[in-house]
């Protein structure tokens, strides 16, 4: 599985002292995703746009604001509302693809 005809920023995004890192890719239609790695740990993130978090590999728990903890083991997808927060409890090295969604997608 690969993404084609994209632009990638050479510089990584580095969070939590490098325990979470990602790289932004931009598609021909202007839409963006980040491909990232999370090492084991607890993290809280906030969103601007609605996000699709697709886990490619890894075991983790996630909690959306006001909801119960859920578990992903190996692969899975969850959606985070715009202007919200979510918590992660990452248990093994996790490979992910985050899509930033607009009204169009």
Binding residues for a copy of itself, rule: CB under 8 A, are 1-12, 14, 17-19, 21, 23, 25-26, 35, 37, 39, 56-57, 93, 95, 97
Q: Which of 79, 99, 97 is nearest to 22 (CA)?
A: 97
- Please report how close the Cβ of residue 18 comes to a copy of itself at its closest, in angstroms: 4
CB atoms within 10 A of CB 38: 22
Contact 59, 34 (CB under 8 A): no
Q: Which is nearer to a copy of itself, 33 or 62 (CB)?
A: 33
- Please report how close the Cβ of residue 84 comes to a copy of itself at its closest, in angstroms: 25
Q: Which is nearer to a copy of itself, 65 or 93 (CB)?
A: 93
Contact 90, 53 (CB under 8 A): no
- Please report how close the Cβ of residue 46 comes to a copy of itself at its closest, in angstroms: 22
- Please report how close the Cβ of residue 58 comes to a copy of itself at its closest, in angstroms: 9
Phi, psi of 19 (to 5 degrees): -75, -20
Q: What is the DSSP letter of 48?
A: S
């Amino acid at each position: 599985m690969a993404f084609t005809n994209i632009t990638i920023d050479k510089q990584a995004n580095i969070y939590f002292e490098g325990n979470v890192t990602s790289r932004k890719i931009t598609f021909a239609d202007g839409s963006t995703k980040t491909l990232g790695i999370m090492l084991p740990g607890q993290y809280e993130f906030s969103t601007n746009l609605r996000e699709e978090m697709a886990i490619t590999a890894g075991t983790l728990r996630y909690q959306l604001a006001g909801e119960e903890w859920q578990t992903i083991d190996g692969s899975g997808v969850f959606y985070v509302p715009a202007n919200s927060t979510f918590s992660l409890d990452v248990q093994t090295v996790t490979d992910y693809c985050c899509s930033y969604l607009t009204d169009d997608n």
